[in-house]
Amino acid sequence: MRKINKFILKTAKDKIDFKVWSATDICQKWWTYMKPLMETNPDDSPVSRNFKEVFYLE
């Protein structure tokens, strides 16, 4: 089976904004629903990695 890398970008003003968003019921349900399709942490949150910026357009 071929491994396919996927990514999603969620911008947050700060870490508190992300914590509030990630604690919502809909976010928790989405993580549980997507768990079979992605790498997850023990709390079902997606594993995240930092990407090296290659270019930036304004």
Per-residue model confidence (pLDDT) at position 20: 85
Per-residue model confidence (pLDDT) at position 42: 92
Per-residue model confidence (pLDDT) at position 12: 64
Per-residue model confidence (pLDDT) at position 2: 63
- Domain, as residue range, for 32: 11-40
Is 53 within the bounds of a domain? no
Is 4 within the bounds of a domain? no
pLDDT digit string (tens) for 1-56? Answer: 566 666 666 666 666 677 888 889 998 998 999 899 888 999 888 888 887 888 88
Q: Each residue of 7-46: b (16+ CB within 10 Å) or e?
A: eeeeeeeeeeeeeeeeeeeeeeeebeeeeeeeeeeeebeb
Is 21 within the bounds of a domain? yes
Q: How many domains does the chain have?
A: 1
